[in-house]
Amino acid sequence: MTNPLYDALFAPLSGQDRGFLHLPDGRVITAAMFHDHAARSANALRAAGLRPGDRVAVQASKSPEMLALYAGAVAAGLVFLPLNTAYTPDELAYFLSDCGPGLLLVDPDRAPICAPLAARHGTQLETLGSGGSFDALAAAQSADLAPAPRAGDDLAALLYTSGTTGRPKGAMLTQENLLSNARALVDAWRFTRDDVLLHALPIFHTHGLFVATNTVALAGASMLFHPRFDLDQIIAALPRASVMMGVPTFYTRLLHDSRLDRDLAAHMRLFISGSAPLLADTHRDWQARTGHAILERYGMTETNMLTSNPYEGARRAGTVGQPLPGVDLRIAAPDTGTPLAPGETGMIEVRGASVFKGYWQMPEKTAEEFRADGFFMTGDLGRIDDEGYVHISGRAKDLVISGGYNIYPKEVELLLDEMPGVLESAVIGVPHPDFGEAVLAVLAPTGAGPDIAAIRAAIADRLARYKQPKAYVTLPELPRNTMGKVQKAALRKDYAQYFAGAGA
Ligand code: MCA
Ligand code: AMP
C-alpha cells in the first residue's frame, strides 16, 4: 500500500541536489536535505510513540524544521495539527482537550508555559527549532524511511476554525482533499520546477501550508522561505522570485512603498491573492504600478481552494474567478438550498474532492453544514455572472477577516460580556486601511460602566492578539430590530469610517 500524499509531494525530493528552501540568511536547504530531515522527523515521531491516526500538534515559529515536521507527520501517517502562534495558553488548552494529541511541539522559550498545560492533558511535550529537544531526537534517527500506508480517505491534517457559537471546530482534511487540490493548483497556475515562490505567509493555515507549500512540492519548485512578511525583505527578495502568494494586506503594504515598480516585478510570472477580499482598487493600482494583474482566488479551510481567476484570460478585479476543475459550485437559497437562477445572489455551496470530511467529533455540526445532496454551505454569499465568474458579495456567517485571519465575534463577545460594567457587547468588523477589516467592540454599559483599560488587560492573556478589539466604543444601548436581534449591519454602517485614518 502507498501513502499518496507523501509519495506525490515529498518522496520525489529524495536525493535531489537542487535548492528547495532558500532562507533570508543565505542558507540553502536542498530537496535532498529536506527529504532526509522529514524522514528523520517521521522516525522521531514514531520513536515518541505516535502511531498512524494520532494527532501531532505544533505551535511553533515558522522554520524549515516545522515544514519538515509536517512532511514527516504525513510520512508517519499522523494527523498534523498546526496552531496559530498567537494563541494564548487558554486557547491552546481547548485544542488539547478537544482532540487529544499524543505530542505537542512548541518553541523552546514557550516550554515553561506549555509544560503544565501538556501535563494536564496527558500530552507529551517537545521543543522544536533552535536546538530543541525534538531536533535532537530527529538528529539521532536514521534517514531511511518506510512511509506508513495510507488511503486517500485517511486524515492528514486537522485545522481548527472558529465558529459562530464561539467554539472552534477541527476541520478533518484527508490525504485526497489536499492532494487533489495541490494537483488542481499546479495545473491552474502553471507551476513548474523552474518556479521560485516568495513565501512570507505563516505555515499554520491552509494558505501558507497547503496552497503554497503543497503546490511547490508537487511541482518540484522551490521557495524563498521568509519567517514573516517584512516589507524590506520582501522587496529585496522579489527580483529572485517568480510567484508570490499573499493576503491583500501584502499587496496594500507593497503599494504604499515607492520602491514597487515595473522593474522590481519584472522577474515575476504571477501574483496571487486570497484569504480575504482584494479591493478592486488594489487590483487596478497594482496593475498600473507593476504591469501585473493579480490573480485572485477563493477558498476555505474546510474546502481548500474553490475558485480561481484564469491564468490565461481576463483576471477580473472584484471577482474570485471560476470554479477549479473538480469543484461543483452553486448558488442556492440560504434557507432551503434550492439552486437559484443564474445571476441571482445567494449562499455559495460546494462539493468535490477537496471538500473536508467533517468536523472532529461533531457529527451534528457537520450534518448542519451539508445539504442532503452533499453540498457544503460555505457561509459566503455571492453570485455567478454570465461568464461564469464568481462574485462574493457578503457573508451569511458572522465573521471578521482581518489581515487574512478569521475572527468569530461570538468568541470575543462571550469574554467581553463577562467584564464588570458591561451589560452586553457587539463585536463587528469595520474597514481598515491595512488589515482590510479590523475588530471594533461596541459596549452597552451597566452600573458604573466599563473600564476599557481593565478590559484590555483582562483579555490580553485569554485571546490571541489579532482577535482583540483594536478599539472600543460605548453606546447607551445596542440597536435592535423588532425581533430583538442586535443590528450589526447598522453598527457596521455607523462606524464604517472609524479606522479611516489608521496607518496603512
Ligand atoms: C498582526 N496583528 C493583527 C494581524 N496581524 N491584527 C489584526 N489582524 C491581523 N491579521 C496585530 C499584531 O499583533 C500587532 O498588535 C499589530 O496588529 C500590528 O502588527 P504588525 O507587525 O503590523 O503585523 P504583522 O506581523 O506585519 O502581520 C500582519 C500580516 C499577518 C502580515 C498581515 O497578519 C499575516 O501574515 N497574515 C496572513 C494570515 C494568513 O495567512 N491567513 C490565511 C488563512 P500590537 O501592536 O497591538 O501588539 S487560510 C485562509 O484564510 C483560507 C483557506 C484562504 O482562502 O487562504
Ligand atoms: P478560513 O475559514 O480561514 O479558511 O477562511 C475562509 C473564508 O475566507 C471564506 O469563507 C471567505 O469568507 C474568505 N475568503 C477567502 N478567500 C477570499 C477571497 N478571495 N475573497 C473574499 N473572501 C475570501
Q: Are 296 and 323 contacting, i.e. CB atoms less than 8 angstroms apart?
A: no
User: Distance between CA atoms of 495 and 370, rounded to whole angstroms?
Assistant: 34
Could you tell me the CA-to-CA distances from 497 to 440, 445, 462, 480, 493 in Å, in that order? 12, 23, 29, 21, 8
For ligand 1, whether the C-beta of 249 sits within 6 Å is yes
User: Distance between CA atoms of 164 and 269, rounded to whole angstroms?
Assistant: 39
Query: How many whole angstroms from 470 Cα to the centroid of ligand 1?
Result: 13
Architecture of the domain delimited by 229-395: 3-Layer(aba) Sandwich (3.40)
Could you tell me the CA-to-CA distances from 372 to 176, 249, 390 in Å, in that order? 22, 38, 23
Q: Are 429 and 402 contacting, i.e. CB atoms less than 8 angstroms apart?
A: yes
**pLDDT for 163:** 73
**With 70 as the cut, is the pLDDT of residue 225 above it?**
yes
User: Distance between CA atoms of 172 and 81, rounded to whole angstroms?
Assistant: 10
Query: How many whole angstroms from 339 Cα to the centroid of ligand 2?
Result: 22
Tell me if 4-157 shares its fold with 229-395: yes
- Protein residues with CB under 6 Å of any ligand 2 atom: 161, 206, 274-277, 296, 298-301, 320, 378-380, 392, 395, 401, 406
**pLDDT for 503:** 65
> What number is the average pLDDT over the span 343-348?
97
Find cell 486537522 and name the residue: 158
> What number is the average pLDDT over the span 406-424?
96
Nearest CA to ligand 1 atom 35: 201
* Stretch (H or E) spanning 156: strand 155-161
Pick the CATH number of 399-494 from 2.40.50.100, 3.40.50.80, 1.10.4160.10, 3.30.300.30: 3.30.300.30
Task: Say if pTM beats, i.e. exceeds, 0.95.
Answer: yes
User: Distance between CA atoms of 201 and 431, rounded to whole angstroms?
Assistant: 22
In tens, the pLDDT along 440-495 reads 999 999 999 999 999 999 999 999 999 999 999 999 999 999 888 999 999 999 99
Could you tell me the CA-to-CA distances from 210 to 71, 253, 492 in Å, in that order? 11, 24, 33
In tens, the pLDDT along 15-48 reads 999 999 999 999 999 999 999 999 999 999 999 9
Coil, helix or strand at residue 37: helix
Alpha helices in 142-225 (DSSP H): 175-188, 206, 215-219
**With 70 as the cut, is the pLDDT of residue 211 above it?**
yes
The 3-state secondary structure of 249-276, one letter per residue: HHHHHHHCCCCCCCCCCCCCCEEEECCC
> What number is the average pLDDT over the span 232-246?
98
> What number is the average pLDDT over the span 397-406?
95
Rounded mean pLDDT of the chain?
Answer: 97
Query: How many whole angstroms from 392 Cα to the centroid of ligand 2?
Result: 10
The 3-state secondary structure of 270-318, one letter per residue: EEEECCCCCCHHHHHHHHHHHCCCCEEEEEECCCEEEEECCCCCCCCCC
**With 90 as the cut, is the pLDDT of residue 201 above it?**
yes
**Grid coordinates given for 27:** 542558507
User: Distance between CA atoms of 473 and 486, rounded to whole angstroms?
Assistant: 16
Band (344; pLDDT cuts 50, 70, 90): very high
**pLDDT for 502:** 81
CATH annotation of 4-157: 3.40.50.12780
Domain boundaries, the chain: 4-157, 229-395, 399-494
User: Distance between CA atoms of 170 and 191, rounded to whole angstroms?
Assistant: 30
Could you tell me the CA-to-CA distances from 484 to 479, 488, 492 in Å, in that order? 9, 12, 18
**pLDDT for 342:** 92
DSSP calls for 480-501: B-TTS-B-HHHHHHHTTTTTTT
- Strand 346-352 relative to strand 327-332, pairing: antiparallel
- Counting ligand 1 atoms within 8 A of each CB, the residue from 161, 376, 405, 440 with the most, and so the one to mutate, is 405
